Structure 1
């Protein structure tokens, strides 16, 4: 029994030693490595609480020139936030939906307003919460393994983590299209869309990281030159056109409307295979989420990053009060039947008043920086 107890104690210690986030100083670089490969480095509250204070520490440390963030496991940078845990806690009136969204957006804002260069190596799946950890930084390096999407309208949510800021700033109506449909961009297309700043082949990433961490001084210009040089050596898929190249003018035309209903009408009237496919995709999404997202992107186009996070925090809490988020998580992640029963079930039943209420200030409970 004592031998068993001893081995049990030892295994417990080992479990604690396996950090979910690795934070280390290498040369002039502060390096953040997300270390939950089995769950595709999904972001949870514990990770946020480890990353944020270290990020602030490095920001004022004269020995640190820049920060680099990456993920382990080879499959994902970060596949999103731990939405299942949020749903489970929210259902029983727990504090996680309040706390996690608040602290996550504060972290996202810290990245967006960081005084030093921030380099995200988005090699692999980068969705939702992973986008929030990368897209607001100065440099975002995609590889052929990068898979980017904001698929929140399929789970009764909206493209948060600052989606209301960066999506409307992509060319034309591309951001609105990505926000409503959850369309997936891969590899070089992530850079072509404007989500990534650079494209480097994944086999060159270890050498890139080595050179980044070996820099004697690392100004924004120095980092830019090094990333540019690695990009110029990466010719993979360079001859392939942007996946949406033939549809950019269609997207601008079809997604130009003053309402989601108007967009659906445009798609149905167009009749092309591309338009039909988008109409089918939107028909599967939460009608409430589509309307919230449409307004979020409209308003976000003129707001500062901080104001976008204040708005998105209000929206997150509105979604927690509703039913579609819990139903979306059930359908996609729990039962996996992919047949959500949205309530309301049609766009026409989602009133402008109910959408507007989601954007109402929360008074004392509002997000503050």
Structure 2
């Protein structure tokens, strides 16, 4: 996409000072692509089939050293490109993946956000605002959107993939939503998709930050398909071959054909002896414990009836921010009652801004990402000291001019 067209997209969406900041971000990206001084953080290109013709638009996250972590400029650029691709009749589908073999996207650029929050800089609002707009744009994208979640997929990386109709995991995929360990909550639409996982699985993953690997990401319902890494080149080739056929089809038929292709590759990768879900043995205790009405009741149930495994999970919860645990529990309970991703993201944006005014988010980032001593001093330090008023505050409306909007 040309520089003028990108700037037009940004200016059309946001005027005034905000539009100016977005244009600055986009121009910095364009200069990095044209100057040769450094690699662009995200690469967009049109992939053609061997027969020629538009096959799909590729989005490549390109911050290998940072494990393709999503920053604000990347979120702005991907959002503008997606909106342009939605209207472009020559783009039949979008495929997103991460550069390198280690990560699809290891999360959002949380350190930058906390530094901005400490000094009152607008990035603390704008990053969450545009990241959530991007999450929603993925969820409502009118064409097939295929996320190849090969490698680490956490936090912001989950938001780039899980709201799409096609999420393809590999044996290298490592999924987690570890936000309660840094004083935050599973955002990027977590209240929508996690609350809709079967039984107590979503609440378990949200509160403990448990890591799912490989096929388990599919078994949990986070990925829609699983293929081996050796199959990825074939997958890309077959998607490219399919692309031109999609151009003149209606949306439902496009989705159906992509589903058929991925189903076929998934079956080939599974083989004759599919591996079982590693958490299957613990599903009864997960469903019972993590359907309890409060976090305190979850911990008590695990300690009372969960055996050795339950004790380990209770010990994990004891290390997390008590405030984060309680607001996350409330978040998923409310998310299950909300009917749309947009409603959930609006709620989560409020939560993010109240967290920016608190203590634990900054302390958690310090302990886990900055000093890396993993010795966070939470305040309050225990579940019993986190009052109902403290929890409810995170869900209060913001001033009208500060609320999240599409």
Write out per-residue CA displacement over residues 167-203 of structure 1, whole angstroms, 9 at most, x where no aligned residue.
0100001000000000000111101100000000011
Structure 1 residue 98 displacement after superposition: 0.3
| 1:271 Cα offset (Å) | 5.2
The count of corresponding residues between Structure 1 and Structure 2 is 358
Matches within 5 A, 1:78-227: 78-215=105-242, 216-218=244-246, 219-227=254-262
Is 2:360 the partner of 1:324? yes
**1:168-317 matches, cutoff 5 A:** 168-215=195-242, 216-218=244-246, 219-235=254-270, 238-270=273-305, 272-303=307-338, 304-317=340-353
> 1:339 aligned to 2:384?
no
2:37 aligned partner: 15
Q: How far has the Cα of 1:236 moved from its partner?
A: 6.6
Q: Which runs of 4+ in 1 moved over 4 A?
A: none
How far apart, CA to CA, are the structure 2 residues paired with 1:256 and 1:63?
47
| CA positional deviation for 1:137 | 0.4
Structure 1: state its 5+ residue gaps. Answer: 1-9
Distance between the aligned counterparts of 1:244 and 1:226, measured in 2? 28
Q: Indicate the SS of the match to 1:33.
A: strand
Partner of 1:3: none
Tell me the alpha carbon deviations over residues 310-361 of structure 1, each in whole angstroms, 9 at most, x when there is no partner.
Answer: 0000000011000101100110011111010000000111100111011001
Structure 1 position 240, deviation (Å): 2.6
Q: Distance in 1 between matches of 2:291 and 2:215?
A: 26
Whole-Å Cα distance in 2 between the matches of residues 315 and 246 of structure 1?
34
User: Given the alignment of the two structures, is residue 25 of structure 1 paired with residue 46 of structure 2, yes or no?
Assistant: yes
CA distance in 1, matches of 2:265, 2:181: 36
Change (3 A) 1:102 1:169: same
- Deviation of 1:256 after TM superposition, in Å, equals 2.2
- Given that 2:215 and 2:275 are in contact with CA atoms closer than 8 Å, whether structure 1 keeps it comes out as no
Mean CA deviation greater in 238-247 or 355-364: 238-247
Counterpart contact for 1:201–1:236, Cα < 8 Å? no
Q: Which deviations, in whole Å up to 9, do the C-alpha atoms of 1:70-99 show, x marking residues without a partner? A: 000111000000001111111111111100
Q: Displacement, 1:241? A: 1.6
Question: Which 5+ residue runs of structure 2 have no aligned equivalent?
Answer: 1-31, 48-53, 247-253
Superimposed CA distance per residue, residues 253-272 of structure 1 (whole angstroms, 9 cap, x where no aligned partner): 11121110111111121250
Contact between 1:37 and 1:73, CA under 8 Å: does it hold in 2?
A: yes
TM-score of the two chains, using structure 2 as the length reference: 0.86
Question: 104, 117, 142: which is aligned to 1:77?
Answer: 104
Report deviation, 1:237.
Answer: 9.9
CA contact (8 A) 1:188 1:237 kept: no
Distance change (3 Å), C-alpha of 1:269 and 1:105: same
CA distance in structure 2 between the partners assigned to 1:271 and 1:308 by the alignment: 31
TM-score where L is the length of structure 1: 0.95
Q: Does 1:349 align with 2:389?
A: no
- Correspondence for 2:404: 367
Question: Quick check: 2:285–2:306 contact (8 Å CA) kept in 1?
Answer: no
Cα-Cα RMSD: 1.4
Tell whether the 8 Å contact from 2:350 to 2:403 is kept in structure 1 after alignment.
yes
- The alpha-carbon deviation at position 60 of structure 1 amounts to 1.0
